[in-house]
């Protein structure tokens, strides 16, 4: 470990830190680990203590060891005991501790008065929120995130669905994971991946379906690359619309036209049918075929559960997707389609598909998720280590909180649905509510919620109060002008924002509640591979900042004090009643919140929901001991708890019947079979034309996590990537007469944004396509994006819309002085 | 001045090929750490972000180098020339402005 008690000059210190970080990363690559440098060169390191926690950032769910000293986080290292990352972290993870210490942390509640934000006390803030909700419960909506901890999400969900009797809660996984959910539900009848990260270590072929894993899930990508470095053969195929760092290490890079992924996947299905690639035994025993039925009317999409089709009908449906036809639709050479068809056809290989936002932020997101599950099922590349279709999440608890706790407008905890009378009954019993208390009608999904919040009440804008926790819709809503910024002119709308830093959302907030973050509070997350993780509060939040779950609980109790009986169960007991030894603990009072572990109290109540859909969670204390456990976690005869890696596979999943091999026990068709879907390629809703001739794709960068509110306050990451830009292909740049550093205007039918050009950077789009990252609140690309969404998942498409790119006037004169490119 | 911590993943020299670590060692801008298996940690010092990128590209091209990972990036805050752009993003020093930081939020804080 680098100790820093001795005085060294800055350059030497930085060099030592750089070497320590590189050595630790090298050791982690090699399966060993070393401590990382202290964050603060002035710390002595003498009284440092180490604690486990998951990384605050992405859905990979790496574990870090957090070094604390004198009430501060001063050091971070990768957790050697963690299976996920085996001691390795990415550049964001190494710096995660610094996310707590930005200079502009919010420290006191602030109320907008006459255009200025005025400090108020917590009692007044809680009272304002409670009265605002109580005045019009139906007009209130919670909007949370996949960064809500599990107990926070559970508290918010119970607050709305039990306490208010509405389903007006949604969360930002609607913008990132919803199509993966509908893909899993359509195929297996239950959400979340059957496989785990162990598949990465066992596969022979890794197919990146529009997934820049090298930058978005770098630690997982390292697991693949390490295998190669150790002499193993792993074929990496990068299917992408722009060259990225993932492409640099891929054996085959296929650049496809936006929306071409459906054609490619159908092309593989075509080849499996034509060339003997179907695993007949698996398909005949374990699968049914499915397609969408007719549309009930012009505006309504067909039912998501579809109608049966025979194998022969399926074969006929994929017949037109010959490699040559797919080449026309997707731009991928027919030889590439054949190569992938051959890899899927081979039984001696283990094939692992990976995807993330490329599939999900897609107006055909549900369809492409279904087709790729389908080609894995058709070819039998399913349910064995290395044979898997793996969707990766962007947020640390998109799975654990939004999908499992059900903080979406159509869900109840444990994967139950509000529209299902049996599920509502189950939840009502569990929460001790009067029959019929839980509303049957789903609330508004994210885009609809903000559309209504940004519409005058008199014109149907029936959402009048929104409480945003742990997310930043002011930067992430598509078509921001329409879906977020209009609120500023609507006097009767009220926006409450709980956050840790000033954000783009806070610009329009009427009430700001300062929140504790990450290890300033107890927490639990659930990562992309069904792994539930736990950590303890390690340091105090700054100023008056407080836990989000406490804020929700305090408002709930204030509503009881104000006479709102909805916040009580049918026995007249407060929904968050907490007691020890028969004595109530007033957890609504901040000074008593940590008298008991509220996370444990909420989690142990919540986990009983998890059994209904075989997503069994262990008691809280089991997670204290572990580096996460993957559900279903079942109790063994000796009282111990066992996690499950491969769901639906007899060799590992305790819920699969003996002798069955595989069993899809939540099958849509109720016959233990998965569904193989035919979903056709269709043209996207907006395509480039003469006025808007470029495709725009938006996304993330390695250094910043999502909207950059945390990582842009980490000096090392901010300096490494200070501002957004637009990537152009060199041919397009030449045609426009611009080069790297020149400013251009990117304009769509919805808005425009000025950005500096990057040509030949780490990402390289094809001619006619541009890419802009969304991390920079000073340059919000969502002013430009399209708010069309998938009809089933309601997830918007941030990956493609039509834009124009024009030189800025100043650039024009600069260009005019510059000799043409040779 | 830009200081970067890298992990160079080596495939091991093919017959007749020079050891990639040897060619890295001769470069005065590099300080090599101790290789752990095929993973060689090193620190690189360059004038600015652009030359960092050029150097990383050169390292990637050395026969026997499989991959280069970035583990650490530090830019001297006093060195204005190295401020904009990533050391690994191929942007030239000074070629574009940084956006407002911290937040561009418009509400008035007391
Ligand atoms: S950001 Fe993601 S990949 Fe990086 S350390 Fe954190 S969890 Fe791991």
A271 exposed, middle or buried (CB, 10 Å; 0-12, 13-18, 19+)?
Answer: buried
Is the CB of B3 less than 8 angstroms away from the CB of A18? yes
Instruction: Provide the 10 A C-beta neighbour count for residue A738.
Output: 26
Nearest alpha-carbon partner for A404 in A608, A577, A621, A598: A608
Site residues for ligand 1, CB cut-off 6 Å:
A 55, 57-58, 60-62, 85, 89-90, 92-93, 217-219
Q: Which pair of structure tokens corresponds to residue B103?
A: 């937040």
Is some CB atom of chain B closer than 8 A to the CB atom of A654?
Answer: no
Nearest alpha-carbon partner for A548 in A393, A665, A374, A407: A407
Strand-pairing partners, residue A747, are A752, A804
Is the CB of A722 less than 8 angstroms away from the CB of B99? yes
Strand-pairing partners, residue A728, are A759
- The full set of domain ranges for chain A reads 1-42, 48-101, 110-176+398-611, 186-392, 694-816
Has residue B81 got a pLDDT over 90?
no
Q: Which pair of structure tokens corresponds to residue A766?
A: 């094809």
Strand-pairing partners, residue A807, are A744
Cα A802–A803–A807 angle (5° rounding)?
A: 160
**Are the C-beta atoms of residues A414 and A404 closer than 8 Å to each other?**
yes
pLDDT for res A821: 31
Distance (Å, whole) CA A515 – CA A497:
10
pLDDT for res A31: 52
Q: At what angle do helices A334-345 and A365-379 cross, to 10 degrees?
A: 50
Is some CB atom of chain A closer than 8 A to the CB atom of B62?
Answer: no
Has residue B77 got a pLDDT over 70?
no
Q: Known catalytic residues of A?
A: 92, 176-177, 357, 394-395
pLDDT for res A92: 87
Tell me how far the alpha carbon of residue A171 lies from the centroid of ligand 1, in angstroms.
Answer: 21
N- to C-terminal Cα distance for chain A? Answer: 51
Distance (Å, whole) CA A194 – CA A205:
18
Is the CB of B36 less than 8 angstroms away from the CB of A502? no
A694-816 adopts what CATH topology? Barwin-like endoglucanases (2.40.40)
Omega prior to A486 cis, within 30 of 0: no
**Are the C-beta atoms of residues B39 and A229 closer than 8 Å to each other?**
yes
pLDDT for res A8: 52
From residue A37, alpha-carbon distances to A20, A49, A289, A717, A777 in Å are 6, 14, 55, 16, 30
Omega prior to A672 cis, within 30 of 0: no
Listed in sequence order, the residues at least 6 apart from A152 whose beta carbon sits closer than 8 Å to its beta carbon are A144, A401, A469, A470, A523, A547, A548, A549, A552
Distance from CA of A508 to the nearest CA of B (A): 8
pLDDT for res A79: 86
| Complex prediction ipTM | 0.77
Q: Which pair of structure tokens corresponds to residue A52?
A: 């486990």
Is the CB of A225 less than 8 angstroms away from the CB of B73? no
Distance from CA of B94 to the nearest CA of A (A): 8
Is the CB of A21 less than 8 angstroms away from the CB of B71? yes
3-state secondary structure A274-337: HCCCCCHHHHHHHEEEEECCCCCCCCCCCCCCCEEECHHHHHHHHCCCCHHHHHHHHCCCHHHH
Distance (Å, whole) CA A6 – CA A54:
31
Strand-pairing partners, residue A56, are none
Is the CB of B36 less than 8 angstroms away from the CB of A18? no
Listed in sequence order, the residues at least 6 apart from A585 whose beta carbon sits closer than 8 Å to its beta carbon are A578, A579, A592, A595, A596
* DSSP per-residue codes, A535-577: E---SPPSTT-B-HHHHHHHHHHHHHHTT-GGGB-TTS-BTT-
**Are the C-beta atoms of residues A17 and A2 closer than 8 Å to each other?**
yes
Distance from CA of B32 to the nearest CA of A (A): 8
Choose from B83, B96, B97 for mutation: most chain A CBs within 10 A.
B96
Distance (Å, whole) CA A818 – CA A737:
9
Which of A92, A399, A519, A627 to probe ligand 1 with, by most ligand atoms within 8 A of CB?
A92
B2-8+15-83 adopts what CATH topology? Alpha-Beta Plaits (3.30.70)
N- to C-terminal Cα distance for chain B? Answer: 37
Where helices occur in A319-445 by DSSP H, the ranges are: 323-330, 334-345, 357-360, 365-379, 421-430
Q: What is the CATH number of domain A48-101?
A: 3.30.200.210
**Are the C-beta atoms of residues A505 and A499 closer than 8 Å to each other?**
yes
* DSSP per-residue codes, A755-768: EEEEESSSSEEPTT
Burial letters for A6-36: b for 16+ Cβ neighbours within 10 Å, e otherwise? Answer: eeeeeeebbbbbbbbbbbbbbbbbbeebbbb
Listed in sequence order, the residues at least 6 apart from A475 whose beta carbon sits closer than 8 Å to its beta carbon are A503, A504, A505, A707, A774, A777, A780, A782
Q: Measured between beta carbons, which residues in chain B are less than 8 angstroms from residue A741? A: 91-92, 94-96
Distance from CA of B2 to the nearest CA of A (A): 10
3-state secondary structure A464-508: CEEEEECCCHHHHCCCHHHHCHHHHHCCCCEEEEEECCCCCCHHH
Q: Which atom of ligand 1 is nearest to the CA of A94?
A: 5
* DSSP per-residue codes, B25-38: HT-TTEEE---BTT
Q: What is the CATH number of domain A186-392?
A: 3.40.228.10
Which of A82, A214, A215, A217 to probe ligand 1 with, by most ligand atoms within 8 A of CB?
A217
pLDDT for res A818: 36
Tell me how far the alpha carbon of residue A512 lies from the centroid of ligand 1, in angstroms.
Answer: 29
Write the residue in A26, A718, A720 that is nearest to B39 by C-beta: A26
A110-176+398-611 adopts what CATH topology? Rossmann fold (3.40.50)
Residues of chain A with pLDDT under 50: 1-7, 32-45, 811-822
Weakest-pLDDT range from A795-799, B59-63, B83-87: B83-87
Is the CB of A23 less than 8 angstroms away from the CB of B34? yes
Is some CB atom of chain A closer than 8 A to the CB atom of B21?
Answer: no
Q: Which pair of structure tokens corresponds to residue B27?
A: 């470069």
Please report the residues numbered 85 through 124 in chain A whose beta carbons come closer than 8 angstroms to any beta carbon of chain B: 91, 94, 102-104, 110, 112, 115-119
What region, left, alpha or beta, does residue A436 occupy, with left being phi > 0 and alpha being psi -120 to 50 degrees?
Answer: left
pLDDT for res A283: 98
Q: What is the CA radius of gyration of chain B?
A: 17
Instruction: Using CA coordinates, name the residue in chain A closest to B76.
Output: A11
Distance (Å, whole) CA A570 – CA A255:
59
Distance (Å, whole) CA A227 – CA B18:
23
Distance (Å, whole) CA A728 – CA A766:
8
Nearest alpha-carbon partner for A793 in A184, A372, A174: A174
Q: What are phi and psi of A688, to 5 degrees?
A: -60, 145
Q: How many residues in total does chain B contain?
A: 110
Tell me how far the alpha carbon of residue A62 lies from the centroid of ligand 1, in angstroms.
Answer: 5
Residue tagged 């752009």 (tokens)? B85
Q: Which pair of structure tokens corresponds to residue A373?
A: 């599950």
Has residue B45 got a pLDDT over 80?
yes
**Are the C-beta atoms of residues A480 and A513 closer than 8 Å to each other?**
no
pLDDT for res A76: 82
Quick: pLDDT tens for A84-98: 988 888 888 888 998
Q: Are strands A252-255 and A287-291 parallel, antiparallel or unpaired?
A: unpaired
**Are the C-beta atoms of residues A117 and B107 closer than 8 Å to each other?**
yes
Nearest alpha-carbon partner for A267 in A330, A221, A215, A208: A330
- With a pLDDT cut of 90, the percent of chain B lying above it is 11
pLDDT for res B51: 80
Nearest alpha-carbon partner for A413 in A608, A176, A601, A577: A608
Cα B79–B84–B86 angle (5° rounding)?
A: 105
pLDDT for res B73: 65
Strand-pairing partners, residue A698, are A772
Tell me how far the alpha carbon of residue A90 lies from the centroid of ligand 1, in angstroms.
Answer: 5
């Amino acid at each position: 470990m680098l100790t820093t008690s001795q005085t060294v000059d800055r350059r030497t210190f930085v060099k030592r830190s750089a070497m320590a970080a590189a050595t630790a990363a090298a050791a982690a690559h090699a399966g060993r680990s070393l401590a990382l440098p202290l964050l603060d060169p002035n710390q002595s390191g003498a009284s440092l203590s180490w604690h486990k926690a998951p990384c605050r950032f992405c859905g990979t769910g790496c574990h870090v060891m957090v070094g604390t000293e004198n009430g501060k986080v001063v050091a971070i290292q990768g957790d050697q005991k963690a299976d996920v990352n085996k001691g390795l972290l990415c550049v964001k993870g190494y710096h995660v501790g610094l996310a707590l210490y930005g200079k502009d942390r919010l420290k006191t509640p602030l109320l907008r008065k006459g255009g200025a934000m005025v400090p108020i006390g917590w009692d007044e803030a809680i009272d304002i929120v409670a009265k605002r909700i109580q005045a019009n419960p139906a007009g209130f909506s919670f909007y949370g995130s996949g960064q809500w901890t599990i107990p926070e999400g559970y508290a918010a969900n119970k607050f709305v669905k039990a306490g208010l009797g509405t389903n007006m809660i949604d969360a930002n996984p609607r913008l990132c994971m919803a199509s993966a959910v509908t893909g899993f539900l359509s195929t297996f009848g239950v959400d979340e991946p059957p496989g785990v990260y162990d598949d990465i270590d066992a596969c022979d072929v890794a197919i990146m379906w529009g997934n820049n894993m090298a930058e978005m899930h770098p630690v997982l990508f390292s697991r693949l690359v390490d295998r190669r470095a150790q002499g193993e053969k792993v074929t990496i195929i990068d299917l992408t619309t722009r060259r990225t760092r993932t492409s640099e290490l891929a054996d085959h890079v296929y650049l496809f036209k936006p929306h071409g992924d459906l054609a490619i996947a159908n092309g593989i299905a075509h080849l499996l049918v034509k060339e003997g690639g179907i695993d007949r035994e698996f398909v005949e025993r374990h699968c049914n075929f499915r397609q969408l039925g007719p549309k009930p009317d012009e505006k309504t999409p067909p039912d998501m559960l579809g109608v049966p089709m025979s194998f022969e009908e399926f074969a006929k449906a994929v017949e037109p997707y010959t490699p040559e036809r797919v080449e026309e639709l997707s731009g991928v050479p027919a030889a590439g389609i054949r190569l992938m068809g051959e890899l899927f056809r081979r039984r001696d290989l283990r094939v692992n598909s990976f995807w993330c936002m490329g599939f999900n932020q897609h107006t055909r997101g549900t369809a492409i998720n279904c087709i790729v599950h389908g080609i894995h099922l058709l070819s039998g590349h399913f349910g064995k280590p290395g044979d898997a279709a793996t969707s990766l999440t962007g947020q640390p608890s998109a799975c654990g909180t939004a999908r499992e706790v059900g903080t979406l407008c159509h869900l109840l905890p444990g994967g139950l649905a509000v529209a299902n009378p049996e599920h509502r009954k189950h939840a009502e019993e569990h929460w001790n509510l009067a029959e019929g208390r839980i509303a049957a009608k789903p609330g508004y999904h994210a885009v609809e919620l903000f559309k209504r919040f940004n519409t005058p009440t008199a014109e149907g804008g029936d959402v009048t109060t929104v409480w945003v926790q742990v997310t930043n819709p002011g930067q992430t809503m598509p078509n921001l002008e329409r879906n977020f910024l209009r609120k500023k002119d609507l006097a009767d709308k009220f926006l409450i924002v709980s956050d840790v830093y000033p954000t783009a959302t806070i610009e329009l907030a009427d009430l700001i509640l300062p929140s504790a973050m990450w290890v300033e509070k107890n927490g639990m997350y659930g990562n992309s591979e069904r792994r539930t993780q736990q950590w303890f509060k390690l340091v105090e939040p700054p100023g008056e900042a407080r836990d989000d779950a406490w804020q929700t609980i305090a408002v709930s109790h204030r509503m009881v004090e104000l006479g709102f009986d909805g916040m009580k169960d049918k026995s007249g007991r407060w929904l968050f009643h907490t007691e020890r030894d028969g004595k109530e603990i007033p957890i609504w009072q901040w000074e008593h919140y940590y008298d008991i572990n509220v996370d444990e109290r909420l989690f142990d109540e919540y986990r009983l929901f998890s059994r209904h859909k075989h997503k069994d969670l262990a008691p809280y204390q089991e997670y204290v001991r572990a580096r996460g456990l993957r559900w279903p976690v079942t109790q063994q005869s000796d009282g111990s708890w066992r996690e499950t890696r491969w769901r639906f596979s007899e060799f590992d999943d305790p819920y699969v019947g003996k002798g069955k091999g595989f069993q899809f026990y939540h099958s849509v068709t109720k016959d233990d079979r998965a569904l193989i879907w035919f979903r056709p390629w269709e043209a996207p809703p907006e395509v480039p034309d003469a006025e808007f001739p470029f495709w725009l794709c938006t996304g993330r960068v390695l250094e910043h996590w999502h909207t950059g509110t945390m990582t842009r306050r980490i000096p090392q990451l901010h300096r490494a990537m200070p501002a957004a830009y637009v990537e152009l292909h060199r041919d397009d740049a030449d045609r426009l007469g611009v080069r790297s550093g020149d400013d251009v205007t990117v304009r769509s039918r919805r808005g425009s944004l000025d950005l500096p050009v990057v040509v030949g950077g780490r990402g390289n789009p094809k001619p006619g396509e541009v890419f802009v990252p969304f991390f920079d609140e000073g340059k919000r690309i969502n002013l430009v994006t399209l708010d069309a969404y998938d009809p089933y998942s309601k997830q918007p498409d941030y990956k493609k819309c039509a834009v124009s790119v024009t030189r800025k006037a100043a650039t024009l004169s600069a260009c005019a002085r510059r000799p043409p490119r040779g | 001045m830009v200081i970067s911590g890298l992990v160079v993943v080596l495939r091991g020299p093919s017959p007749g090929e020079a050891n990639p670590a040897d060619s890295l060692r001769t470069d005065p801008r590099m300080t090599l750490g101790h290789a752990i298996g095929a993973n060689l940690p090193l620190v690189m010092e360059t004038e600015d972000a652009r030359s960092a990128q050029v150097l990383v590209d050169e390292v990637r091209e050395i026969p026997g180098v499989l991959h280069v990972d970035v583990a650490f990036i530090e830019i001297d805050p006093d060195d204005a020339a190295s401020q904009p752009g990533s050391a690994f993003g191929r942007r030239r020093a000074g070629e574009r402005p940084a956006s407002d930081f911290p937040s561009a939020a418009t509400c008035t804080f007391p």
